[in-house]
Amino acid sequence: MGHMKRFRGSYELRLDDRGRIKIPSRYLSILEEQYSKEIYLTSLNGDYALLYPLNVWEVIEQTIEKIPVRSPEIEEYVDRTGFWGNECEVDARGRILVPPELRNAGQLHDNVRVVGKIDHMVVWNDTLFREKTIAGEFGVDKMQKVAELLEKYSKVAL
């Protein structure tokens, strides 16, 4: 198996008048080469959209299926991702439709930010993303926690 490409970086995009976003060409090529054009689009709270390649989402489902007695948190996760969830396919022009209910809940109108999250993508209202996610400082304490986790799960620590 060759080198796996990842969804990295972020792109500022605009939704069209029908509520579709065009997947950035870099991300689209990763979908086409490594996954497929099938997407599971969902959310947890409605404040942003999660775009999983369908086969990545299916691995999450398979993992959940193996849990013999599911905790209330897992059940809530399944409920929430099911409520907001929608299987879709990237069209011939590289677009996907964000359902109206999710567009409204996440204020996904006009300018949105698509953020690569290694094996999936997240779509935010650009202003909300800046306010909720990157506002404030990423200090030494947080970096220490990240370094500890990376060291725990890898032979190479940053």
pTM, 2 dp: 0.89
- pLDDT for the residue 150: 87
Fold assignment, 10-153 = Chemotaxis protein chec (3.40.1550)
Q: How many CB atoms lie within 10 A of CB 72?
A: 7
**38 bridge partner residues:** 89
Q: How far apart are CA 81 and CA 21, in angstroms?
A: 20
* Structure confidence by residue, pLDDT tens digits, 15-64: 999 999 999 999 999 999 999 999 999 999 999 999 999 999 999 999 99
The domain spans of the chain are: 10-153
* Structure confidence by residue, pLDDT tens digits, 75-127: 999 999 999 999 999 999 999 999 999 999 999 998 999 999 999 999 999 99
Nearest to 115 by CA among 27, 46, 3: 27
